[in-house]
Structure 1
Amino acid sequence: MIKTNTNRLVMQSVQGQISHPSSVYPYRLMHDGTSHILPATGGITYNVRIGDPAMGWVGDHIEPGVTIKAKDEKSNGALNLLACIGNEAKVVSGDAKGAEGFVTGIHGGVEHVMIYFHQKDLEKMSIDDQILIKSYGQGLKIQGFDEVMIMNLDPELLKKMNIKIADDGCLEVPVVTEVPAYLMGSGTGAATAAKGDYDIMTADPEANKAYGLDQLRFGDLVLLRDCDNSYGRGYLKGAVTIGVIIHSDCIKMGHGPGVTTIMTCKTAKIRGIKDSNANIAYYMEVK
């Protein structure tokens, strides 16, 4: 059984409001050169939630459930940096006040945090409703694995992931698939992986089928091969990163399902174990 420094971590409030979808130019250019008018990020997405397919939606960068953002830039920076997948969230204003959910992802670029709530609670929510998150998890470490960096992950969710230590000293982490570094696109080269995400490119149908990308779901755990997310996002042969699928497939060149990093190592101290249940919805018992 793994041991962590959970008892030394700090739990702190961060807060944002449900953000309105935004648009300046109506058309989105697909990788085949065609233009489309589609729903995209922000707002309350009523019919897409964690555990659902991340592929095939008539949309672009769709964020499941509820999207929040703080209006002040510095506050929003802290919201995106400190909120971790699995953190408790509670509505603190509006008709849905008191409803409880949990963080499902952090989306870079738009700087959004996504949250799961029950459908009955979504129906009571409105744009600008305030949602408070008990941020908890940044600085999490597994004892004896100093070379493995953990980020953006609630300690209680880590416990539910059934991570084991193999006889050869590697951490065995459940994942639904492995993705090669050459398929990682938008977001590569970012200065930090401690917030936001980066995209798996999906313009190649053969690669999608070969690596099971066409079967990805919101909340799936995936292993990124030869990807180092220690101090940014880049290529390093032998490095291993574990991430969570947080937004849908995209039509833009260089984009696709978004991955928020939860674990990374410059060496092969992490091993992926194929498991079809390796999904946040399963661990959080979403019905």
Structure 2
Amino acid sequence: MRTNKDKLVMISVQGTIAKPEHTGRHSVAHDGTPFMLPGTGGITYNVRVGDPVFGWAADHVEPGVSTILDQEKRESPTNRGYNFYACIGNEAKVVTGDAKGAKGVVIGHHGGAEHVLIDFPEEVLEKLTLDDKILIKAFGQGLKLLDYPDVHVYNIDPNLLEKFGIIEKNGELHIPVVAVVPAFLMGSGIGSTSMGTGDYDIMTADEVTLRDYGLDKLRFGDIVYIQDHDNSFGRCYRKGAATIGVVIHSDCKYAGHGPGVTTFMTCAKPILKPIICPDANIGKILKIGRFEEK
């Protein structure tokens, strides 16, 4: 694919590790049962790219390292900027502490929490502290596919996009994905215009439907195809449209929630087509997370 990669700018953004937060009170799940579980933030040692998104005794858990610019000012322009500039596949480097100099990879961003998620090797996780700072070489926003003006691209490093194995055929783009998500399963985040900073959720209250569509086996880092959803200028239903994204946080118990998807490609016209491929996972492509080379 021809892109404007050579015209993109690479800009540094720097964040710190987000402190885990909790009210200490019960919440109510979609089936009416109370729960009180770990959630977002921190250094998550045993949940990484390649692990299942279901089955954890947690809610909205984020794999790897959760980062933020300013935890007290989530909605500030600078914090939004940190989220916006950081793209999936960008290099992240620890610039303080015992892990100084260690490198990782941005794996997505989580709306609401306003976190940028980063995968680091296991030995780096053991050296990090919640006070460490991480510098990201932000690169990717503004990316265009020169021969497909109706396709909008967000949140992806062009060097990673080139590794996806996308096939151009008869004016269409055929993209390897793990699964197709039907439009009616998309929940929290619909209507938002924060395509460049957040994610939106696959609803999981109906377990039978999840199994019917093969979504019960999703893993962190899986690439998915969202059917009849247009994310060009806001997240909405549009017949014939399609959106592609990466699964970035775990299942959730709240009504209307579930595994989160950071989107990176969308089109209102029927140009994007899925190729079902069990190996369509950014961890496998980049050899990070559970696919890390030992």
TM bin, normalised by shorter chain, reads over 0.9
Q: Secondary structure at the match of 2:270?
A: coil
Compute the TM-score of the two structures, normalised by the length of structure 1. 0.98
Q: Secondary structure at the match of 2:2?
A: coil
The corresponding residue for 1:38 is 37
2: distance between equivalents of 1:15 and 1:254? 32
Deviation at 1:28, TM superposition (A): 2.3
Bigger shift: 25-34 or 53-62?
Answer: 25-34
1: distance between equivalents of 2:258 and 2:92? 27
The corresponding residue for 1:175 is 177
Deviation at 1:9, TM superposition (A): 0.2
Deviation at 1:24, TM superposition (A): 2.2
In the alignment, structure 1 residue 115 sits paired with structure 2 residue 118: yes
The corresponding residue for 1:262 is 264
Deviation at 1:4, TM superposition (A): 1.0
The corresponding residue for 1:211 is 213
Unpaired runs of at least 5, structure 2 = none
Q: Which string of whole-angstrom CA distances, capped at 9 and with x for unpartnered residues, describes residues 46-93 of structure 1?
A: 000011111111100010000000115322110111110000000001
Deviation at 1:117, TM superposition (A): 0.1
Q: Which string of whole-angstrom CA distances, capped at 9 and with x for unpartnered residues, describes residues 146-168 of structure 1?
A: 100010000110011011101x2
Contact 1:192 1:229 in 2 (8 A): no
In the alignment, structure 1 residue 69 sits paired with structure 2 residue 71: no
Q: Secondary structure at the match of 1:85?
A: coil
Compute the TM-score of the two structures, normalised by the length of structure 2. 0.95
The corresponding residue for 1:199 is 201
The corresponding residue for 1:7 is 6
In the alignment, structure 1 residue 155 sits paired with structure 2 residue 154: no
2: distance between equivalents of 1:32 and 1:104? 31
- Letter of the 2:229 counterpart: C
The corresponding residue for 1:165 is 168
Identity %: 54
Contact 2:92 2:103 in 1 (8 A): yes
- Letter of the 2:118 counterpart: I
Q: Secondary structure at the match of 2:97?
A: coil
Bigger shift: 218-227 or 69-78?
Answer: 69-78
- Letter of the 1:65 counterpart: G
Aligned-residue Cα RMSD (Å) equals: 0.9
2: distance between equivalents of 1:52 and 1:197? 19
1: distance between equivalents of 2:27 and 2:94? 33
Deviation at 1:25, TM superposition (A): 4.4
Deviation at 1:179, TM superposition (A): 0.7
- Structure 1: which 4+ aligned runs deviate by more than 3 Å? none
In the alignment, structure 1 residue 129 sits paired with structure 2 residue 128: no
2: distance between equivalents of 1:259 and 1:42? 17
The corresponding residue for 1:99 is 102
Contact 1:238 1:266 in 2 (8 A): yes
Deviation at 1:141, TM superposition (A): 1.1
